Amino acid sequence: MRVFKELGKYSSLLYQGLRSSTEFSTYRKNLFQELVKVGYDSVPIIILVGIFTGSVMTLQSAYQLESAFIPLSTIGAIVSQSILIELAAVISGLVLAGKVGARVATELGTMRVSEQIDALESMGFNSVSFLVVPRVLAGILMFPVIYIVASVCGLAGGVAAGYFSGQVPPADFLEGARMYFYPWDVAFGVVKSFVFGFIITSIACYKGYFATGGAEGVGNSTTQATVLGCIYILLADFILAALLL
């Protein structure tokens, strides 16, 4: 019962957002700020995550596939495909469910419980268009970019780990990566990150926008936003894989 009520509230918030997304002048300034906060500010952590994922994948694959019969380029193929199809999108999604989701939920939650959202509405603002639309849009627009950054860093990390460990020469790694490179994998990754960006920001906005009960309430909303964000990312990952692969 409660699930349906929440779902109804969530979809009506999204519907309001969709309807008020035409009021571009209201949220233009906020959109630019959010693009920076969601995208640019996430770059350092995404670089770190990408490089480590790629290099760990490479070392582990090299360990698992240690055999005279398997060419070294196979490692490049496995690592690059895993990164492009799955890891770059999902791992950065999970990391940003923490970083972006928590920030958005806390921001909106604090604004709700300190009556700042009421203040916006009472001035005649459409608070959904002012607060929710730019954040969700920023998620949708920036996550594919983040996916690309994570992928590139992941591949670079893979090449570097292979080279410095002496187990996979860069030429072999890249040959494998090239041989099994399908543009469709990248398109799939972009679609996924698009969906993850929407999931993270829309859930965080929903939890923050309807927060109640002071500082503790905001804390609860933030926790729920990150936990639900992670759960729905994994769920969406599964559904998209079943549908699109």
- Contacting residues toward other proteins, per CB under 8 A: 26, 110-111, 114-116, 118-119, 121-126
CB of 177 to other proteins, least distance (A): 44
Task: Kindly state the smallest distance separating residue 162's Cβ from other proteins, in Å.
Answer: 46
Minimal distance in Å, beta carbon 23 to other proteins? 11
Task: Tell me whether residue 116 or residue 220 sits nearer to other proteins (CB atom).
Answer: 116
Task: Pick between residue 66 and residue 216 the one whose CB is nearest to other proteins.
Answer: 216
For residue 123, the minimal CB distance to other proteins (Å) is: 5
Of 78 and 113, the one with the shorter C-beta distance to other proteins is: 113
CB nearer to other proteins: pick between 27 and 143: 27
Reference 204, options 125, 86, 111; nearest CA is: 111
Smaller CB separation from other proteins, 44 or 124: 124
DSSP character string of the chain: -HHHHHHHHHHHHHHHHHHHTT-HHHHHHHHHHHHHHHTGGGHHHHHHHHHHHHHHHHHHHHHHT--TTS-THHHHHHHHHHIIIIIHHHHHHHHHIIIIIHHHHHHHHHHHHTTHHHHHHHTT--HIIIIIHHHHHHHHHHHHHHHHHHHHHHHHHHHHHHHHHTSS-HHHHHHHHHHT--HHHHHHHHHHHHHHHHHHHHHHHHHHHT--SHHHHHHHHHHHHHHHHHHHHHHHHHHHHHHH-
Rounded least distance, CB 126 to other proteins, Å:
7
Distance of closest approach, residue 121 Cβ to other proteins, in angstroms: 6
Q: Which is nearer to other proteins, 118 or 216 (CB)?
A: 118
